[in-house]
C-alpha cells in the first residue's frame, strides 16, 4: 500500500513538472512575440527565444560547457554552486531553528519575556532583508566582499534571520498548548519545570514544531540565496543567477540553468525537512492522508 | 528492589489522609469569590477505600486536588501520609488517575508506566522490572510495546492505573477514572480495581458521579453538597472485602445504594429550599 502510494507520488511529481513545461511551451507557441497588454496593463510576457527559451534548449544548455571553450558542463558548475548554497542554508536552518526553539522556551517559561520579546520578533520580520545584507557586512566590518569565508557568514546570518521566526512562533504556540490534564499529572509527580518541558511539553508540541520547521527550511534557502545575490557572494547558486542573468541577452537558456539549480536547492532542503518531520512524528498515529 | 507490593517504611503514618476544618476559597476578596469547600473533616485510614460523591460543583474534585497538593487550601489543616500534602507530593507518596487516561501518545505502554520512575531517577533496568511487574498486575503483559492509540479505552485506563501505582505509592487518588467508559467496561474495571487494591493494600480516595460505583467500591461513601462544598453524610458500606459480580445483586448492596441516593436527594431538596433554610 505504501509502495503504491510512493509510486503515485513520484508519478504526480513528474506529471506536475511535465505540465509546467507544457504550459511554458504552449504559451510560447500562442503568446504574442513582443508581449501584450491585458486590461490595459502590460501583463503578457514576451515569448521570443530571448525571453522564453525552449524547454529543450535549457535542457541542452545544461550539458554544454559553462563558458565557450570550457571543459566542465554547466550542470556540474550549477550543482557545485547548489551544494555550496545548500550547506550554507543548512547551517542557517540549524542555527535559526535552534535560536527559534530557544526563544520559544524562554518565552514559554516567563510571561514577561513573551511580552518583551514577541513584539520585536514581529517587527524584525518587517525589515527588508535586501537592506540587511550590506548592513550586516558593515556591522561585522568584513574586510572585503571577496573573502568568501567571511561573507558566507553574512549569508548564514540572513538565513537565520528569516528561519528563526516561524520556529519561535510555532514552538511557543506548541509549548503553550500542552493539555492542562497532562500538566496536572506531571505536577502530581512533582516534576520540575525543565523535566516537564523535556518529557511533556516538547513531545506534545511536535505537531506545532514540525510545520514551523518546514517554513524555516524554505526561509533559510530564501535568505541564503537573497544574501548571495545582494552581497554577490561567490560560489553560491544566487551568484550564478546574478551573473547568468547579465548574460541573458546573449545566452538566454543559461539563466534558467541557474534557476534550475535554485529549484534543486529548494527540493533538497524540503527533503531534509520532511526527513526530520518523519523522525519527529514517528510513533504517532497517522491520519489517512 | 523488592517485588512485593508496598515500599518499605509503609504503614508508619496512622492516617493516609487527615483533613481537619479544611477549606478552599477561590478568588478570595474578589466579586467572583467562590467558597468551594468549607470545614471539611475527613480521616482516611491506611488500606481504606473511600468514595467521594455529590452533585457537580460540590467540590469533590477540588478536595481530591487539595489532597494531591495540586491546589492549596485556604483554611484548616491537612496531612497526607503523616506529612504535609506538599511533602507527600514531592515524595510521590500518592499516585493519581484522571477521567482521561492522559497517556502520552508518543510513549509505548511500558514507557508510560515508567514515567513516574523516570522522574524518581530510577535506572533503566529497575524501571523495566517494575513496569513488567505493573503490566502483570493490570493484566496487560502482552501490550508492553504497544502505543496507547492501539488500545481500547478500558485498557488505556488500566495502563493509567498501572502508571499511578508504578512507584508503589501508599495512596491512590482517582478522579472519575471510569467516567468515560461504557457500562460493561466500567463494571469490569471496578472489579479489576478492587482486585488490584486487595493485592497491593493501597488506600484509595475515589471521586465519582455514579452511586452504584461509589457503593460497590468503597468501605465508606462520603456524600457532599454544593455551595459551599461540604460533607453532609458518610455512609458505611458493610459489604465486606470480598466483593464480586454477585455483590451487585445483593440486597445489602441495594440498601446502601438507596441510602446514598436518599442522602443525595436530601441535598437537592435542601438546595431547592435554600432561601428558607439558609444558615
All residues of chain A having their beta carbon less than 8 Å from the beta carbon of residue B147 are 283, 285
Identify which of B91, B100, B107 has the shortest CB distance to residue A181.
Answer: B100
CA distance B119 to B34: 35
All residues of chain A having their beta carbon less than 8 Å from the beta carbon of residue B102 are 179, 181-182, 185
Using a CB–CB cutoff of 8 Å, tell me whether B89 touches chain A.
yes
Q: Is B39 helix (H, G, I), strand (E, B) or coil?
A: strand
CA distance B241 to B252: 14
| pLDDT at site A218 | 92
Using a CB–CB cutoff of 8 Å, tell me whether B105 touches chain A.
yes
Mean of pLDDT values over A94-118: 92
Mean of pLDDT values over A149-167: 84
Q: How crowded is residue A166: how many other Cβ atoms within 10 Å of its Cβ?
A: 22
Smallest CA-to-CA distance from A125 within A92, A88, A164, A95 is with A164
Give every strand in the sheet of B220-225, ordered side by side: B94-97, B171-175, B203-208, B49-53, B220-225, B230-236
pLDDT exceeds 60 at position A142: no
Identify which of A185, A203, A206 has the shortest CB distance to residue B96.
Answer: A185
Mean of pLDDT values over B247-265: 82
Nearest CA in chain B to A186: B116
All residues of chain B having their beta carbon less than 8 Å from the beta carbon of residue A196 are none
**pLDDT tens sequence across B194-231:** 888 888 888 999 999 888 888 888 888 898 888 788 88
At A73, phi and psi to the nearest 5? -70, 155
| pLDDT at site B51 | 92
**pLDDT tens sequence across A204-247:** 999 999 999 999 999 999 989 888 888 777 788 888 888 888 88
| pLDDT at site A134 | 74
pLDDT exceeds 50 at position B276: no
| pLDDT at site B55 | 84
At A102, is the pLDDT very low, low, confident or very high (cuts 50, 70, 90)? Answer: very high
| pLDDT at site A243 | 86
Flag the least confident range among A18-27, A62-71, A150-159, A265-274.
A62-71
Flag the least confident range among A137-146, A256-265, B134-143, B152-161.
A137-146
Q: How crowded is residue B96: how many other Cβ atoms within 10 Å of its Cβ?
A: 28
| pLDDT at site B271 | 65
A interface with B, Cβ–Cβ below 8 Å: 179, 181-182, 184-185, 187-191, 195, 199-200, 203-204, 206, 283-285
pTM, two decimals, is 0.80
pLDDT exceeds 70 at position B13: yes
**Separation in Å, CA of A277 to nearest CA in chain B:** 14
Nearest CA in chain B to A187: B70
| pLDDT at site A44 | 76
Identify which of B68, B70, B106 has the shortest CB distance to residue A283.
Answer: B106
**pLDDT tens sequence across A14-36:** 899 899 989 988 888 887 777 77
Cα A23 to Cα B22, B44, B106, B274: the distances in Å are 77, 79, 45, 79
pLDDT > 90: percent of chain A: 34
B-interface mutation test, from A185, A201, A285, most B Cβ less than 10 A away: A185
**Separation in Å, CA of A286 to nearest CA in chain B:** 10
All residues of chain B having their beta carbon less than 8 Å from the beta carbon of residue A283 are 105-108, 147
Q: What is the mean pLDDT of chain B?
A: 83
Mean of pLDDT values over B88-117: 90
CB contact under 8 A, B98 and A181: yes
Strand stretches in chain B, DSSP E: 17-26, 34-44, 49-53, 75-80, 83-84, 94-97, 171-175, 203-208, 220-225, 230-236
Q: Which three cell numbers stand for residue B256?
A: 446502601
CB contact under 8 A, A187 and B70: yes
Q: State whether ipTM is beyond 0.85.
A: no
Amino acid at each position: 500500500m505504501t509502495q503504491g502510494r510512493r509510486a503515485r507520488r513520484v508519478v504526480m511529481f513528474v506529471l506536475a513538472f511535465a505540465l509546467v513545461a507544457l504550459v511554458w511551451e504552449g504559451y510560447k507557441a500562442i503568446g504574442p512575440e513582443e508581449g501584450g497588454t491585458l486590461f490595459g496593463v502590460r501583463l503578457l510576457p514576451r515569448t521570443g527565444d530571448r525571453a522564453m527559451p525552449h524547454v529543450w534548449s535549457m535542457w541542452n544548455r545544461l550539458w554544454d560547457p559553462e563558458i565557450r571553450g570550457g571543459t566542465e558542463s554547466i550542470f556540474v558548475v550549477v550543482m557545485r554552486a547548489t551544494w555550496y548554497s545548500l550547506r550554507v542554508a543548512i547551517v542557517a536552518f540549524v542555527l535559526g531553528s535552534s535560536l527559534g526553539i530557544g526563544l520559544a522556551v524562554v518565552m514559554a517559561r516567563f510571561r514577561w519575556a513573551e511580552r518583551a520579546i514577541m513584539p520585536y520578533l514581529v517587527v524584525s520580520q518587517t525589515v527588508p532583508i535586501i537592506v540587511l545584507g550590506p548592513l550586516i557586512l558593515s556591522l561585522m566590518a568584513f574586510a572585503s566582499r571577496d573573502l568568501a569565508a567571511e561573507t558566507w557568514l553574512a549569508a548564514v546570518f540572513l538565513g537565520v534571520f528569516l528561519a528563526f521566526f516561524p520556529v519561535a512562533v510555532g514552538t511557543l504556540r506548541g509549548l503553550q498548548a500542552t493539555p492542562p490534564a497532562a500538566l496536572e499529572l506531571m505536577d502530581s509527580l512533582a516534576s520540575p519545570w525543565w523535566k516537564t518541558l523535556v518529557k511533556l511539553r516538547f513531545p506534545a508540541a511536535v505537531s506545532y514544531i514540525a510545520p514551523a520547521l518546514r517554513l524555516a527550511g524554505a526561509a533559510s534557502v530564501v535568505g541564503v540565496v537573497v544574501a548571495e545575490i545582494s552581497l554577490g557572494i561567490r560560489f553560491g547558486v544566487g551568484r550564478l543567477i546574478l551573473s547568468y542573468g547579465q548574460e541573458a541577452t546573449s545566452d538566454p537558456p543559461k539563466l534558467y540553468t541557474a534557476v534550475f539549480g535554485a529549484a534543486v536547492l529548494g527540493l533538497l532542503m524540503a527533503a531534509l525537512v520532511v526527513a526530520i518531520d518523519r523522525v519527529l512524528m514517528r510513533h504517532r498515529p497517522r491520519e489517512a492522508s | 528492589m523488592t517485588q512485593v507490593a508496598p515500599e518499605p517504611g509503609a504503614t508508619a503514618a496512622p492516617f493516609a489522609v487527615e483533613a481537619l476544618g479544611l477549606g478552599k476559597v477561590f478568588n478570595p476578596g474578589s466579586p467572583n469569590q467562590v467558597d468551594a469547600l468549607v470545614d471539611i473533616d475527613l480521616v482516611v485510614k491506611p488500606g481504606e477505600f473511600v468514595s467521594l460523591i455529590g452533585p457537580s460543583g460540590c467540590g469533590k474534585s477540588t478536595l481530591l486536588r487539595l489532597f494531591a497538593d495540586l491546589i492549596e487550601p485556604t483554611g484548616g489543616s491537612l496531612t497526607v501520609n503523616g506529612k504535609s500534602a506538599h511533602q507527600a507530593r514531592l515524595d510521590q507518596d500518592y499516585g493519581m488517575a484522571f477521567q482521561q487516561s492522559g497517556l502520552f501518545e508518543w510513549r509505548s505502554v511500558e514507557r508510560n508506566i515508567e514515567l513516574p520512575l523516570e522522574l524518581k531517577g530510577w535506572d533503566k533496568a529497575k524501571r523495566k522490572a517494575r513496569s513488567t511487574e505493573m503490566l502483570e498486575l493490570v493484566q496487560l503483559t502482552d501490550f508492553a510495546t504497544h502505543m496507547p492509540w492501539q488500545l481500547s479505552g478500558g485498557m488505556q485506563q488500566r495502563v493509567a492505573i498501572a502508571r499511578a501505582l508504578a512507584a508503589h505509592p501508599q495512596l491512590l487518588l482517582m478522579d472519575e477514572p471510569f467516567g468515560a467508559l461504557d457500562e460493561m467496561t466500567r463494571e469490569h474495571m471496578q472489579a479489576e480495581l478492587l482486585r488490584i487494591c486487595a493485592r497491593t493494600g493501597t488506600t484509595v480516595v475515589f471521586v465519582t458521579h455514579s452511586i452504584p460505583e461509589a457503593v460497590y467500591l468503597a468501605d465508606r461513601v462520603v456524600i457532599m453538597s454544593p455551595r459551599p462544598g461540604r460533607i453532609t453524610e458518610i455512609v458505611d458500606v458493610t459489604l465486606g472485602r470480598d466483593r464480586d459480580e454477585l455483590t451487585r445483586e445483593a440486597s445489602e448492596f441495594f440498601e446502601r445504594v438507596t441510602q446514598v441516593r436518599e442522602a443525595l436527594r436530601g441535598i437537592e431538596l435542601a438546595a431547592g429550599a435554600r432561601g428558607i433554610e439558609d444558615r
